[in-house]
Amino acid sequence: MLFQFSPIIPVYALVAVLMLYLSARTWNLRPARGASAWSMTLLFCAIHTLGTCLEIAFATPVLKLAMNRVIYVGTTGFVFFWGIFAIQYSNHGRWLNRVTLPLLAIVPACTLVLALFAEQHHLLYRAYEFVYLDGLLLGQVAAYGALFYLWVTYSYIVFVSSWLLLLLTAIRSQAIFRNQIWLVILASAVPMITYVLQLFGLKLYAPYYPLAFAMAFAGVIMLLAMTRLRFGDILPVAYDQIFRNVKGGIILLDLKGRVAGLNHAAERILGSSEKDVLWKEARDAFPEQRHLIKQFEYVNEIKTEVAMSAVGPFYELQITPLTSHHGEPAGRVVMFYDITERKQIEQKTLELTVEQERVAILRQFISHMSHDLRTPLAILKLTEYALRNDLKGQLPNRVDMLEKQTDRLIEMVESMLTMLRLEGEKLDSLGAVDMNELICTVIERHRLLAQERGTQLQFNRSQELPFVVANRDELLLALSNLVVNAIHYSSGGEIIMDTAHDQESVVISVCDSGIGISAEHLPHIFERFYRVDDARGTQNGGLGLGLTITKTIVERHAGTIDVQSQLGEGSQFSIRLPLEQAS
Ligand code: ADP
């Protein structure tokens, strides 16, 4: 009789087929670290199981002994590749080279060769016997040889060091990846414990050798892990490497806002090591960044820029929610990239733009100035000619003109100097100013001009107007500019000034019924040198600096200025000054 039957035989066969399948599936995941070695481990396990299966199935001693060789092929290959897997999986692949690989292979290779000729020597076993057990003929070693114990020691060293490697990897890896590595350790635990127990002499009754089942169990768990947890695509160690070494800072927060992990860059930027902050609440973990953390403590998703201090460094901060495989919230990832360099470039570009604007304004100014100076200068020249030639009857007329143009020139130069002063000097000489009294002064000063133009100046004062803290001279100038404009740009009619106040501010308005300003010009009238009617050399108005000066003064006092105007109907300028000066 060549064969014998036991119900365990088809079970072994099934397990062997399952392991072959698992080996093939894992082989396909090869680019992933450790996948090829694990696939080979499973393949040799399949060979081992198949050998076991056939050894039981064959009923003749010769074939049984032949299958014993096959089992040795499986065992030696299995132990060797297991070691390789642990090295690769724990990210120490660089240890494997042309010297270390043959060194690792030497014991299994010798054991295998000796096993093939086990009957010719007694190094592996000294006696092999065949016994009948429950009607089955089974082979078993009666006495082991010396070399067997060498092999046992080698296997033992490989298993223990592989375990230590995997354990170290699990401990050193980021908290978030640790579970996956624990799973690998769990998967390998069952066959390893079984194997070690067998080495220590735990005899399980033949033909129920547990190693094959334990390996099948490990193979299934690993496949589940690879497909369900998908760490076969890029093994966790690879994730771990990316997470650790990426240039930007990454902090993982759990649902309670506690630190679940942080990478090297985050450790460097925040000056805290992962072990010191792990599972602490973010605000306790990074006390120096408390103000920032407070701002984003409950923010689930955002992309913004933050500064560690007023002068930098600057970071782009991104918070993204984390969800579990089942789509439930799991925490948040906080990422930050250093953008200090970009910010500095932006700042420089801004400064350059401002500088370019300054140059443009200067060019515009020179051009306007040349036009503006041309008219009075021409008149002065003509007057000088008239005076020199003592032209009859023209003298008083010319002197008047001379005076007017000289005044205009002085006024223009004064405006420019005022503008320069306002831009260069800090606001000082502050005192309590009664705006009602100030407006009366302005009216007094320009009454004559208004009369000449046939314009009435009217003032509706608010009773009990609170004083404002201000530089009186500057406010006088600001209001004068508005009143002079109102006179210049109206012919006849009335100019009405009002004062009013509320809890926080005093409001002064100057309202005329003059030519008004069209909507197209209105947004620009406060710009430097902007004039609605740009026909140079007009007798009215100045350089287009009057309103710029007024606005600058008002803003120096933390106030605002508004204008409302209708072409042909008139304009109303309103200044609002705060009662409390901003410090
Ligand atoms: P300017 O020295 O030319 O008066 P401003 O800066 O004082 O310069 O005013 C800018 C422009 O705004 C003026 O050229 C004028 O066209 C217009 N403007 C200012 N105030 C009035 C007003 N009350 N009515 C109509 N137009 C005005």
Residue 263 Cβ < 6 Å to ligand 1:
no
**Ligand 1 center–CA 432 separation, angstroms:** 29
Virtual torsion, Cα 384, 386, 392, 393, nearest 10 deg: -80
Q: Contact 378/408 with Cβ under 8 angstroms?
A: no
Residue among 512, 543, 511 at smallest CA distance from 527:
543
Q: Can you tell me the distance from the alpha carbon of 299 to that of 292, in angstroms, rounded to the nearest whole number?
A: 12
pLDDT at 232: 42
CB atoms within 10 A of CB 503: 6
Q: Which atom of ligand 1 is nearest to 542's Cα? A: 2
Q: How far is the CA of 99 from the centre of ligand 1 (A)?
A: 91
- Stretch (H or E) spanning 275: helix 274-277
**273: its two tokens:** 């090591």
Ligand 1 centroid, distance to 536 Cα (angstroms): 14
Query: Which residue, judged by its Cα, is nearest atom 19 of ligand 1?
Result: 485
Q: Cα(437)–Cα(440) distance, rounded to whole angstroms?
A: 5
Closest by CA to 275, choosing from 167, 165, 172, is 172
96 residue type, one letter:
L
Q: Is 530 in the pocket of ligand 1 (CB under 6 A)?
A: yes
State both tokens at 280: 């602490």
DSSP state for residue 460 in the 8-state scheme:
E
Question: What tokens were used for 132?
Answer: 């009948």
Please calculate the CA angle 302-240-158 and round it to the nearest 5 degrees.
165
Residue pair 434/466 in contact by the 8 Å Cβ criterion: no
Q: What's the CA-to-centroid distance between 401 and ligand 1, angstroms? A: 23
Q: What is the predicted pLDDT for the residue at 318?
A: 94
CA–CA gap between residue 27 and residue 34 (Å, rounded): 10
Instruction: Kindly give the interhelix angle for 100-116 and 146-172, rounded to the nearest 10 degrees.
Output: 140
Compute the distance between CA of residue 504 and CA of residue 495 in angstroms, rounded to an integer. 26
Closest ligand 1 atom to Cα of 530 = 10
Q: Strand, coil or helix: what is 291?
A: helix
Nearest CA to ligand 1 atom 12: 525
DSSP, res 560: E
* 526 Cα nearest atom in ligand 1: 6
Q: Which of 315, 337, 158 is nearest to 265 (CA)?
A: 337
Q: How far apart are CA 275 and CA 271, in angstroms?
A: 12
3-state DSSP assignment of residue 552: helix
For 48, 56, 171, 188, 328, the CA distances from 60, given in Å and listed in that order, are 19, 10, 51, 35, 60
The residue contributing the CA closest to ligand 1 atom 18 is: 485
Separation between Cα atoms, residue 493 and residue 568, nearest integer Å = 13
3 state DSSP class of 578 = strand
d(CA 574, ligand 1 centre) in Å: 15
572, burial (CB in 10 Å: exposed 0-12, middle 13-18, buried 19+):
middle
| Ligand 1 atom having least distance to the Cα of 510 | 23
Using DSSP, state whether 347 is helix, strand or coil: helix
The pair of structure tokens assigned to 320 is 């993204």
What are the backbone angles phi and psi of residue 527, rounded to the nearest 5°? -75, 155
Q: Which residue from 413, 455, 489, 520 has its CB within 8 A of the most atoms of ligand 1, so it is best to mutate?
A: 489
Is 570 a pocket residue for ligand 1 (Cβ < 6 Å)? Answer: no
**Per-position DSSP letters for 317-378, written without gaps between them:** EEEEEEE-TTS-EEEEEEEEEE-HHHHHHHHHHHHHHHHHHHHHHHHHHHHHHHHHHHHHHH
Q: Is the CB of 486 under 6 A from ligand 1?
A: yes
Residue partners of 537: CB distance under 8 A and separation at least 6: 371, 372, 374, 375
> Euclidean distance between the first and final Cα of the chain, in Å?
109
Residue owning the nearest CA to atom 1 of ligand 1: 544
Query: Where are any strands of DSSP class E within 111-246?
Result: 125-133, 136-144
Q: What is the pLDDT along the chain (583 residues), one digit of tens a residue?
A: 688 888 889 988 998 999 999 899 888 877 666 888 989 999 998 999 999 899 999 999 899 989 989 999 999 999 999 999 999 888 888 899 999 999 999 999 999 999 888 888 888 888 888 888 878 888 888 888 888 889 888 988 998 898 888 888 877 766 555 666 777 778 777 777 776 777 677 666 566 777 777 877 887 887 776 655 544 444 555 667 778 788 899 999 988 888 988 899 999 888 888 888 888 898 888 888 888 888 888 898 999 998 887 777 899 999 999 887 667 788 899 999 999 999 889 989 999 999 998 888 877 777 777 777 777 788 887 777 777 776 666 677 777 878 888 888 888 888 888 888 888 788 999 999 999 999 999 999 999 999 999 999 999 999 999 999 999 999 999 999 999 999 999 988 899 999 999 999 999 999 999 999 999 999 999 998 888 875 444 455 567 889 999 999 999 999 999 999 999 999 999 999 999 754 4
Greatest Cα-to-Cα distance within the chain, rounded to the nearest angstrom? 156
Contact 433, 469 (CB under 8 A): yes
- Look at residue 226 in the predicted model and tell me its pLDDT: 62
CA 546 – CA 231 distance, rounded (Å): 73
Structure tokens at 32: 């992933």
Name residue 469's beta-bridge partners: 432
| Contact (CB, 8 A) for 57 and 9 | yes
Ligand 1 centroid – CA 514 distance (Å): 11
Ligand 1 centre to CA of 374 (Å) is: 21
Taking the centre of ligand 1 as the mean of its atom positions, its distance from the CA of residue 488, in whole angstroms, is 8
Does the predicted TM-score (pTM) go above 0.85? no
Domains of the chain: 8-237 (1.20.1070), 246-338 (3.30.450.20), 344-424 (1.10.287.130), 431-578 (3.30.565.10)
Task: Provide the Cα torsion 364, 367, 369, 372; round to 10°.
Answer: -120
- Predicted pLDDT at 93: 84
C-alpha of residue 160 to centroid of ligand 1, in Å: 92
Q: Are 63 and 53 in contact (CB under 8 A)?
A: no
